[in-house]
Structure 1
Amino acid sequence: MGAFRLAIKQITASAPLYVDSLGILEKVNPQIPSNPDLHTFLLDENNNVLLVGNPVWNEKIEEMFWQIVEEKLGKRE
């Protein structure tokens, strides 16, 4: 998990990271499941959803996150 948090800090230097602490996403999109694990999205440069799920709490999602990041940005050191 430490590597993930470090990567987020590096990624957010060049891309926005939005945290919906007020729950607005759920309020304006009632069709989104109430499961908070499904409220985390990885978007590409065109705002297309590449991944749904929270990599902090789910190892499989974290693996997929790194695979996508490496495909887009190159392998991590």
Structure 2
Amino acid sequence: MPKSDTSNVEFVFLFSVGENANSLALTLKQYQFSIPVLFDIQNSFEKVNIIPNDEKFHYFLLDKNNKIQLVGNPINNPAMWKLYKKRIAELNERS
């Protein structure tokens, strides 16, 4: 069974914020949020990608080449988190 090591997983957040980028940046700084954040002021990401309105499809697991491996929200979904860990382990085996 592959090792489910998620310690090398990097998180990046992309927010479509429009003109609210400064407000969100201040909030993240206030809470000492240390994970990289990208602010998409012009909604460029959504313009070139078909993103459903359903929020559970706003989460992606990418491989080291930025290819989508999984789509779905693992935060409050134990089954999805298990699937993420399994896929991460498979990707780690290839590295």
Q: TM above 0.5, one fold? A: yes
Aligned length: 62
Q: Structure 2: which 5+ runs fail to align?
A: 1-5, 18-42
Query: Quick check: which has more Rg, 1 or 2?
Result: 2
So what's the TM-score if we normalise by structure 1?
0.62
Q: Distance in 2 between matches of 1:70 and 1:42?
A: 12
Q: Structure 1: which 5+ runs fail to align?
A: 1-6
**% identical aligned pairs:** 27
Relative distance call for 1:71 and 1:31 in structure 2 (3 A) is closer
Which runs of structure 1 show a deviation greater than 4 angstroms over 4 or more consecutive aligned residues?
none
Highest RCO, 1 vs 2 (Cα 8 Å, sep ≥ 6): 2
Q: Distance in 2 between matches of 1:64 and 1:44?
A: 14
Show the counterpart of 1:21. Answer: 15
